Amino acid sequence: MPNTIQPYQYKKIEEHVLNLVESGVLQPGERLPSLRKMATTIRVSVPTVAQAYAELESRGILESRERSGFYVSLDYKRLPAPSLCPEARPGQMDMSRPALLEAALRTCHGNICDAMNRYYPEKSLLAGRCLGKILRSVIQDDPIRAVSYEPPQGNLELRKQIALRCMNADLAVSPDEIVVTPGTMSSIATLLTCITRPGDAVLIQSPAFILYLRVIETLGLRAIEIPSCPQNGIPVQHVADAIRDFDVKACLLIPNFHMDGSLTPDSSKRQIVELLAEKNIPLVEDDVYGELYFGQDRPSLFKTFDTTGLVATASSLTRTVAPGYRLGWVLPGEFKEQVLAHMSMTDARPATPMQLALGEFLRRGEFDKHMKGLRAAISLSMARMQCEIGRRFPEGTQVSRPEGGFYIWVQMPKQVDSKDVFVRAREKGVVVFPGSLLSFSDTFKNCIRINCRGVWNDDVRKALGTLGNIVTALAEQK
């Protein structure tokens, strides 16, 4: 029987080699292990290794030399990561809406360059078929229950399964502490409504998610920003400075895989929670991407270190599985009764069939299977995109190396304005989000956010090439 190349093994080898190259273990011009040696080491077939090497060669990362083997291409350029921490002090954000920001928002909800324009995985990577079968089965098994209301906090079996998942983040909670919601943004809006009053100041990290700004503006709140560090996450000192200089009434922070790729270490999470508890300041944490980690272990939460109930955690079950199902959850802490009262007034509850299906999806272990494949796909495509950015963008470009999440943060040469990149790219059907719109200062003026949806194809390659040409042209003009 002829050898067959298993796609998963081939991708794992490609990802392994990319990591060696990206981390600098393998330098340009350095020889790779032979096909046979690599096959023996990883315990796969020689054709599988050959396919992985050939793919990397076709993308200019490796080069083959006759009778000598494969080498890291001499032309390969590994970009440095963005600077450790932007030099900016906490400050109040301008909540006005320039025309360019509105254009960016409209574009990001349009159909331009769909391969890079969504904040959830490519459709083929979603769990639509599996969830569809489960949804049909739960409706057929108990059609009366499927058309009935669930308890105000949500389906009990679903909450039990969510509580079990929280254990992966070193967090022990009971199902009674969990409230099921229509999604993360709904949870955040509800929590801020319950915690704050119009005119209050809310501490957020920048670059800031635009939807946060919309919620804050709608509720009549003020946004106080602190810059996030791409490599170290949320600086404890910045939080301390902000609550000293401003009358902060609440915080809205992302500790795990913020858009700049940052992951806040456990020591900082603990210090921030303790610091805010001393001042009796509630903390809303958004952990929508916490399950999308590329390493061995799921990162912890702010909630892991909470002893007062002032930390409220919002997350989603469907962002990475089935966005259209719109189902999230929240650990509201001491704000549980206010959250339930607000949800009862707005009737903001997910449909019963969706809750039943997601609970069964978790109970069967399908969520773990799905996330394992999705993490591998996102990690590999992100490494490919980083390599392509290194080939296409000009000297002076820096790119983040996230340990999870969907986003690549690119710091371009200082003279390049991200607003100019956005306008020119949009004209050519390519979508990026300009960093200059995500902060009140000029800290991120030369930065852009690129979405990574787990695919690598000609559309993504061409889009990155177009972006590279635009950035290069702008860099040469100034």
Cis amide bond preceding 230, omega within 30: no
What pLDDT is recorded for position 110? 46
Least confident of 17-31, 157-171, 208-222: 17-31
> By 3-state DSSP, what share of the chain in percent is helix, strand and coil, each rounded to 5?
45, 15, 40
Question: CA–CA separation, 423 vs 466, rounded Å?
Answer: 13
Nearest to 264 by CA among 451, 85, 392, 41: 85
Greater pLDDT, 384 or 153: 153
380: left (phi over 0), alpha (psi -120 to 50) or beta: alpha
How confident is the model over 162-190, as pLDDT tens digits?
999 999 999 999 999 999 999 999 999 99
For the domain made up of 124-367, the CATH class stated in words is: alpha beta
Greater pLDDT, 47 or 104: 47
CA distances from 28 to 25, 212, 395 (A): 10, 42, 17
DSSP 222-240: EEEEEEPBTTTBS-HHHHH
Fold of 7-72: Arc Repressor Mutant, subunit A (1.10.10)
Phi and psi of 410, rounded to 5°?
A: -115, 125
Burial class (CB within 10 angstroms; exposed 0-12, middle 13-18, buried 19+) of 246: middle
> For all residues of the chain together, what is the average pLDDT?
88
Q: What is the dihedral of CA 358, 364, 369, 374, to 10 degrees?
A: 0
Rounded mean pLDDT, 387-411: 92
How confident is the model over 197-217, as pLDDT tens digits?
999 999 999 998 888 988 998
Type of residue at 429? G
Burial class (CB within 10 angstroms; exposed 0-12, middle 13-18, buried 19+) of 371: middle
Does the structure show a pLDDT above 70 at 432? yes
For the domain made up of 109-122+369-477, the CATH class stated in words is: alpha beta
Does the structure show a pLDDT above 60 at 7? no
Least confident of 105-109, 392-396, 427-431: 105-109
Residue 83: Cβ within 10 Å count = 12
Length of the chain: 478
Question: CA–CA separation, 299 vs 171, rounded Å?
Answer: 11
What pLDDT is recorded for position 318? 87
Instruction: Give 111's pLDDT tier (boundaries 50, 70, 90).
Output: very low
Burial class (CB within 10 angstroms; exposed 0-12, middle 13-18, buried 19+) of 424: middle
Residue 71 β-bridge partners? 31, 63
What pLDDT is recorded for position 89? 63
What pLDDT is recorded for position 96? 57
DSSP 242-260: HHHHS-EEEEEE--BS-TT
Q: Are 84 and 232 in contact (CB under 8 A)?
A: yes
Instruction: Give 252's pLDDT tier (boundaries 50, 70, 90).
Output: very high
How confident is the model over 260-318, as pLDDT tens digits?
999 999 999 999 999 999 999 999 999 999 999 998 899 999 999 999 999 999 999 88
Which residue is it, tokens 């509800």? 190
Q: Are 201 and 247 in contact (CB under 8 A)?
A: yes
Q: Domain locations in the chain?
A: 7-72, 109-122+369-477, 124-367
Longest Cα–Cα distance of the chain, Å, equals 73
Least confident of 113-127, 275-289, 422-436: 113-127
Rounded mean pLDDT, 344-371: 94
Greater pLDDT, 40 or 309: 309
Number of continuous H segments (helices) and E segments (strands) in the chain? 16, 14
Does the structure show a pLDDT above 90 at 159? yes
Please give the helix or strand (H or E) that residue 160 lies within, else none. Answer: helix 156-166
